[in-house]
Amino acid sequence: MDYEAVIGLETHVQLKTKSKMWCGCANEFGAPPNTHVCPVCLGLPGVLPVANEEALRLTALTGLLLNCSLPPYAKFDRKNYFYPDMPKNYQVTQYDKPSAVTGYLEFEFNDSLARVRITRAHLEEDVGKNFHFDRNSGVDFNRAGVPLMEIVSEPDLTSAVMAYEYLNALKDILVYGGVSDCDMEKGMVRCDVNVSVRPKGQSELGAKIEIKNMNSFSGVRKALDYEIPRQIEVLKSGGKLIQSTRRWDDPAGITEEMRTKEFAHDYRYFPEPDLMPFQPTEAWLEEVSRRVIELPLARKRRFIRDYQLPAADAQTFVWDRPLGDYFESIAKQAKSPKAAANWVINNLRAKMTESGTTLADVKFQPPAILELIELVENGKISSRIAQDVFTEMFSAGESPAKIVEKKGLAQVSDTAAIEKFCDEAIAANPGPAADFRAGKTAALNFLKGQVMKLSKGKANPALAGEILERKLKAGMETGN
Ligand code: ADP
Ligand code: MG
Ligand code: ZN
């Protein structure tokens, strides 16, 4: 019997706010332990939380980016459990009235478009972080109370790779929207992986097994690559799977059971009495909707469609948004947007990387790239010389035409001059000349290269080719 996997993800993302969720402490990674704390985020008695408005906006914005609806009424609840990294002994979250519901996320997968439904996106708070030393343990509350958004997917994912691609697409959207930096190294994205298997064709879902607290996308993929075959193996050998929670042991490369359903927590959720329910006004929603950006995938498709770019170039302009914007500022006037993209990606980006500079430091105006392309297309300079002109443009900021004039780089289209170079090249390379005459047409390129060298790159290559060919063929007739 064939089995298939069913996967749903609960993704936790730290929001990009200046301050924490309920107090004014900085939301900042990497400060010395317990320096961003106050009575509110330390859970001292008698304090009152004030909801961070920007966190609410970013959650609503995420809802819009993920095609969700934003309910007119959302509220916060207390999720009660005891753990040393959580000073209040409850976490404030949104239980049954989340900020965003029923959306979807689309991403490229297996050469087509995958759509995963989003159940909800809700707002909660992060907890502190425990550290274990040789003889004692410590807890850092800098992270306690940092705004944390949870995005829950429907069980629409069917493989480890698909889950991995979903997470990457989600991350791209959140980074694009300015919702979160999604810096994995800093633990800004964490994920609970729910996975079950069932006989292919069966509509009923199998027992849900949850792998908790994954902190890397590749970890999620590896854990699923282990867990799916494990579950199938249990069923195939006549065993039974029960709803349970497991953890991923990365060094060992296995999942292991933590608890089964009968030992599941009872969180005793109840409405947070210290916070008003949240009812967004039209004006508030309008303000949030103005922050909606073009999604990465939409941008990629638009670049391919409007500028006839190959997918790889379009993807480069999605990942490097400022570079893409730079390209767009000249692409509309470009006769060949692809040529402009080549200059921007292969030359401009390379030079910036090499010199450790950014677009803000570029000395020439963007249309100079079009001017340069034009010089090549009109036969004024060779593409070889264009490289030198670009280097000069980049270091001095002068216009390409000016550089060509100043340095005397204009292409030689004067036939007499090229004839002379061709004669020299043939005379100096009797071997390749004979090869060409014997039918090895590739030898012409070598000779052409020699002509370019003799002319210091200035001979019009097309003309050089024609003249060389004519001379070599004439030589055949006269036996020279
Ligand atoms: P809980 O209330 O225990 O967190 P939910 O039903 O809300 O469980 O689901 C949590 C996540 O698990 C969601 O992403 C959902 O898509 C996924 N999920 C639910 N049932 C299954 C299943 N049988 N197999 C795989 N994933 C599932
Ligand atoms: Mg869960
Ligand atoms: Zn605080």
User: What are the angstrom distances between the C-alpha of 275 and each of 49, 78, 117?
Assistant: 7, 11, 30
- If you measure from the C-alpha of residue 98 to the centroid of ligand 3, how many angstroms do you get, rounded to a whole number? 24
Q: What is the pLDDT of residue 461?
A: 80
Find the mean pLDDT for residues 267-295: 97
Residue with tokens 């410590």: 138
Residue type, 274: D
Which atom of ligand 1 is the closest one to the Cα of 152? 14
pLDDT, residue 441, reads 85
Rounded Cα gap, residues 282 and 307, in angstroms: 38
Cβ–ligand 1 contact at 63 (below 6 Å) = no
* 236 Cα–ligand 1 center, Å: 23
Asked if 227 contacts 255 with a C-beta cutoff of 8 angstroms, the reply is yes
The closest alpha carbon to 148, from 62, 222, 245, belongs to 62
Record the tokens describing residue 185, joined without a space: 């190294």
Q: Which domains does the chain have, with CATH numbers?
A: 3-289 (no CATH), 415-478 (1.10.10.410)
How far, in Å, is the centroid of ligand 3 from the Cα of 142? Answer: 8
Whether the per-residue pLDDT at 408 is higher than 80: the answer is no
CA of 10 to the centre of ligand 2 (A): 7
- For residue 384 and ligand 1, the question of a CB distance below 6 A is answered with no
Tell whether the model's pLDDT for residue 196 goes beyond 70: yes
Helix (H, G, I), strand (E, B) or coil at 3: strand
Cβ proximity of 26 and 19 under 8 Å: yes
Evaluate: CB of 153 within 6 angstroms of ligand 1: yes
Degrees to nearest 5, angle at CA 466 with 462 and 471: 145
- What pLDDT does residue 478 have? 55
Is any ligand 1 atom within 6 A of the Cβ of residue 151? no
Q: How far is the CA of 192 from the centre of ligand 2 (A)?
A: 7
Distance 79 CA to ligand 1 centre (A): 18
- What is the C-alpha to C-alpha distance for residues 461 and 459, in angstroms, rounded to an integer? 6
Ligand nearest to the CA of 153: 1
Share the mean pLDDT of the chain. 94
231 C-beta closer than 6 A to ligand 1? no
CA 5 – ligand 2 centroid, Å: 18
In the DSSP assignment, the letter for residue 414 is -
Lowest mean pLDDT across 3-7, 13-17, 386-390? 386-390
Give backbone dihedrals phi and psi of 342, rounded to 5 degrees, phi first: -60, -45
Q: How far apart are CA 290 and CA 314, in angstroms?
A: 25
CB atoms within 10 A of CB 314: 21
CB 128 within 8 Å of CB 141: yes
Is the model's pLDDT at 412 over the cut of 80?
no
Q: Which residue intervals of 296-442 are DSSP H helices?
A: 296-307, 311-319, 321-331, 337-342, 350-355, 367-377, 383-396, 400-407, 415-428, 430-437
Question: What average pLDDT does the segment 396-415 reach?
Answer: 83
Going by pLDDT thresholds of 50, 70 and 90, the confidence category of residue 477 is: low
pLDDT in tens, 415-466: 888 888 999 999 999 999 999 988 898 899 999 999 988 888 788 888 888 8
pLDDT digits (tens, 9 = 90+) for 131-165: 999 999 999 999 999 999 999 999 999 999 999 99
Cα–Cα distances in angstroms (integers) from residue 423 to residues 227, 429, 480, in the given order: 72, 10, 12
44, 43, 40, 63: which is closest to 52 by C-alpha?
A: 40
Query: Nearest bound ligand to CA 209?
Result: 1
Q: In terms of C-beta density within 10 A (0-12 exposed, 13-18 middle, 19 or more buried), how is residue 419 classed?
A: middle
Q: Are 223 and 27 in contact (CB under 8 A)?
A: no
- The count of residues in the chain is 480
Residues 6 or more apart in contact with residue 388 via CB below 8 angstroms? 409, 457
Ligand nearest to the CA of 193: 1
Residue ranges with strand state E in 126-263: 129-132, 137-140, 147-153, 189-199, 209-214, 244-249, 254-260
Assess contact for 312 and 345: CB atoms under 8 A: no
Q: Is the CB of residue 98 below 6 angstroms from any atom belonging to ligand 1?
A: no
> How large a percentage of the chain has pLDDT more than 90?
85
pLDDT of residue 281: 98
| Residue at token pair 């902190």 | 215
Assess whether the C-beta atom of 152 lies below 6 angstroms from ligand 1: yes
Ligand 1 atom 22: the closest Cα is on which residue? 208
What confidence category does residue 274 fall into, taking pLDDT thresholds of 50, 70 and 90? very high
**Per-chain residues with Cβ under 5 A from ion ligand 3:** 23, 25, 38, 40-41
What's the rounded Cα separation, in Å, for the pair 256 and 248? Answer: 7
Residue 179: closest CA among 69, 296, 272:
296
Ligand 1: nearest atom to the Cα of 155: 16
Alpha carbon distance 443, 448 (integer Å)? 9
Say whether pLDDT at 56 is over 60.
yes
Is residue 263 scored above 80 in pLDDT? no
Closest CA to 167 of 319, 5, 35, 8: 8
Residue pointed to by tokens 């939301």: 27
**pLDDT of residue 479 exceeding 60:** no
Q: Quote the pLDDT of residue 1.
A: 84
Question: For residue 181, how far is its CA from the centre of ligand 3 (angstroms)?
Answer: 21
Predicted local confidence at residue 410, as pLDDT: 74
